[in-house]
Chain A
Amino acid sequence: MTEWRRNKADRVGKLGFSFRRHLHEKFIEFLLFLSAVLSIAIMFAIIVMLLKESWVFFQHVSLWDFLTDTQWTPLFDDAHYGILPLVSGTLVSSFIALAVALPLGTVIAVYLSEFAPFAVREVAKPFLELLGGVPTVVYGYFALLFVTPLLQAIFPELPGFNLLSAGLVMGIMIIPYVSSMTEDAMRAVPMNLREGSYAMGATRFQTAIRVVMPAAFSGIAAAYILGISRAVGETMVVAIAAGMQPNLTWNPMEPAATITAYIVQVSLGDLPHGSIGYQTIFAAGLTLLILTLIFNIIGHVLRKRYREVY
């Protein structure tokens, strides 16, 4: 008993407020806070870096020329700085890719979420995930050396570099992203909505299309937006299979460069830091970021507008 008393001061010291322990805790919390804030710093750094170099670029080239000139030849003696050829290449290849990825991805997602037996889903989901893990440079190789010759057998006049083959392969590449996010969104719809629909005598297809998909709309929109961002920002497939010649065209059978392919082309060369050629890739990057930002904002608005909470 006396010992118990004697140690009382000791015990209070350990259990009570300890300044050192408090400091230790706060210090760790601060470190964790810093690593969380880093994400904001990265975003900030991206924007500052792109704006800074583009600012110098736009001292040389007027914004009007940049947006309306129909030639992009910054590395030639007769330099033109019109972003349109790169934008057209980006939009055409993305459009083809999305024409493949969005329908196929959605059908796969609806099938896996509403129709497929458990065993099929258990096998197909990891497989699709593996498909999404294949490096893009490998898909580029596939587009150039397999899909293009295949397409040339159908369209003999197709050139060796073209947007069509790059776009198709890109589409296959994006399917897993779209299907897995769409499926997650559909699976998150509560079961009693489906049960209600079945109880009314609806078939699986009717339930999937008229009940589950509208309820999952905001998630599906998010999946589509991610798919679009992937397509617009995809680099290696187009750099390898579509050629790197800027070409203002809406014809997928022609070779053309995308914004990303141009950045790769310049980076492969040896441009001195601070030259106008160096700054063009930042201006091109800024254009790319703004393009993806526009799609993201549209997606955000759609999500907010049609979000359903259960």
Chain B
Amino acid sequence: MSSINNLEEIRKIIDQHRKWDLAFTVAGVLALMIAVVTFIVLFAHMLIDGAPRLSWDFFTSFPSRRPEMAGILSAWVGTTLVMIVTAASAVPLGIGAGVYLEEYASKNLLTEIIEINVTNLAGVPSIIYGLLALGLFVYQLGFGQSILAAGLALALLILPVVIVATREAIRAIPVAIREGAYALGATKWQTVIDHLLPYSSAGILTGIIIGLARAIGETAPVITIGALTFIAFLPPAPIKNEFPFLSFEWLTAPFTVMPIQMFNWVSRPEEAFQFNAAAAGLVLVVMTLAMNGLAIYLRYRMRKTIKW
């Protein structure tokens, strides 16, 4: 101790520690730069390779043996239809589970098991959901290698995302709102449906968008259930001319999705197909970035405008 008693030496030590501060700031910025630069290079590489392929024909053509004729029509139609199934099943179930855990559940063993389970499900590798869907939906329930099976598989995958987002959004609502509703004689469900859900809708929507953005890009589970990589036809249209105007035949149709189409093109040896892969990748990235961006914007606006 006596060695650092004079001021000079203390200053020296402080200077040394300040240097560490500076060094770490530089390291932090560098690490951040690595992530940023990688993303820019990735995007630029795809843009250079893929942008010349992007044209109206690319969106309206079926895949083809000849790379310059090939397009992503069946892929984006397939992705859209699969996403409809995913959203239609994951959204009500996820919100329902979130509302139950946040508003209804009493603190008991079952609730705790459900909560741990939701966390665990979020950590299960996506391909395992594909195996579950293959065994359960495709064969056990006989859905076949269809849009329905794929949509449900992806719904299971994003369920934890929707549940967590719902819980966080509802938890942020002050108790006073609930007490106000109860004081006026509202039942629990009336409180939930007339107050809690509308007030938390932005937060829940953010979670749903992030979940769907993830589902659009997921490839592994959809490959596992046996989606085909070469589809040169469209599933039956969901809207018909005659009564009842809606048709659900498309649910059982074979299909392909955007990431699978891209994967198929990447794994071909001819270079021309890799330009197609780049173009498909570009469409895919722009779609997921737009969705994630929308979610981030929603959250930002929510934080600015809602003050309880």
Is the beta-carbon distance between A131 and B105 smaller than 8 angstroms? no
Interface residues of B in 101-131 (CB under 8 A from A): 101, 104-105, 113-114, 117-118, 120-121, 123-131
* Closest B residue to A100 using CB positions: B34
Residues 135-150 of chain B: 1 if any A CB is under 8 Å from the residue's CB, otherwise 0? 1100100000000000
Inter-chain CA distance A291–B299, complex, in Å, is 35
Inter-chain CA distance A309–B206, complex, in Å, is 30
B263 within 8 A of A: yes
Is the beta-carbon distance between B114 and A37 smaller than 8 angstroms? yes
Contacts of A141 in B (CB 8 A): 46, 262, 266, 277-278, 281
> Smallest distance from the beta carbon of B107 to chain A beta carbons, Å?
14
Is the beta-carbon distance between A46 and B132 smaller than 8 angstroms? yes
Stretch of A73-81, A151-159, A201-209 lying at the B interface: A201-209
Is the beta-carbon distance between B125 and A288 smaller than 8 angstroms? yes
Q: Tell me the count of chain A residues lying within 8 A, CB to CB, of chain B.
A: 83
Stretch of B59-67, B173-181, B284-292 lying at the A interface: B284-292
Contacts of B203 in A (CB 8 A): none
B183 within 8 A of A: no
Residues 274-299 of chain A: 1 if any B CB is under 8 Å from the residue's CB, otherwise 0? 00000001100100110010001000
A189 within 8 A of B: no
* Closest A residue to B266 using CB positions: A141
Chain B interface: which size bin?
35 or more
Contacts of B49 in A (CB 8 A): 145
Partner of B131, one of A24, A50, A273: A50
Partner of A107, one of B27, B125, B281, B296: B27
Is the beta-carbon distance between A45 and B25 smaller than 8 angstroms? no
A221 within 8 A of B: no
Inter-chain CA distance A291–B267, complex, in Å, is 28
Contacts of A134 in B (CB 8 A): 39, 42, 217, 285, 288-289
Chain A binding site: helix, strand, loop or mixed by DSSP?
helix
Inter-chain CA distance A172–B288, complex, in Å, is 18
Contacts of B27 in A (CB 8 A): 107, 111
Partner of A53, one of B41, B135, B187, B277: B135
Partner of A49, one of B29, B136, B160, B187: B136
B229 within 8 A of A: yes
Is the beta-carbon distance between A203 and B18 smaller than 8 angstroms? yes
Interface residues of B in 61-100 (CB under 8 A from A): 92-94, 96-97, 99-100
Inter-chain CA distance A273–B142, complex, in Å, is 12
A200 within 8 A of B: no
Is the beta-carbon distance between A131 and B39 smaller than 8 angstroms? yes
A3 within 8 A of B: no
Contacts of A242 in B (CB 8 A): none
Is the beta-carbon distance between A268 and B216 smaller than 8 angstroms? no
> Smallest distance from the beta carbon of A187 to chain B beta carbons, Å?
15
Contacts of A292 in B (CB 8 A): 123-125
B1 within 8 A of A: no
Is the beta-carbon distance between A35 and B189 smaller than 8 angstroms? no
B272 within 8 A of A: no
> Smallest distance from the beta carbon of A150 to chain B beta carbons, Å?
10
Is the beta-carbon distance between A281 and B131 smaller than 8 angstroms? yes
* Closest B residue to A269 using CB positions: B226
Is the beta-carbon distance between A172 and B38 smaller than 8 angstroms? yes
Is the beta-carbon distance between B213 and A145 smaller than 8 angstroms? no
Is the beta-carbon distance between A282 and B131 smaller than 8 angstroms? yes
Is the beta-carbon distance between B120 and A42 smaller than 8 angstroms? no
* Closest B residue to A47 using CB positions: B132
Is the beta-carbon distance between B97 and A38 smaller than 8 angstroms? yes
A191 within 8 A of B: no
Is the beta-carbon distance between B262 and A288 smaller than 8 angstroms? no
Stretch of A63-71, A212-220, A229-237, A247-255 lying at the B interface: A229-237
Inter-chain CA distance A206–B210, complex, in Å, is 36
Inter-chain CA distance A136–B224, complex, in Å, is 15
* Closest B residue to A296 using CB positions: B123
Nearest first, the 6 closest Cβ-Cβ pairs linking A and B are A233-B125, A111-B28, A135-B217, A35-B96, A235-B220, A32-B100
22 A-B residue pairings within 8 Å (CB atoms): A35-B93, A35-B100, A38-B93, A39-B114, A39-B121, A43-B117, A49-B131, A50-B131, A53-B135, A111-B29, A112-B28, A115-B28, A131-B39, A136-B219, A144-B266, A145-B274, A208-B24, A235-B219, A239-B263, A267-B130, A285-B131, A288-B128
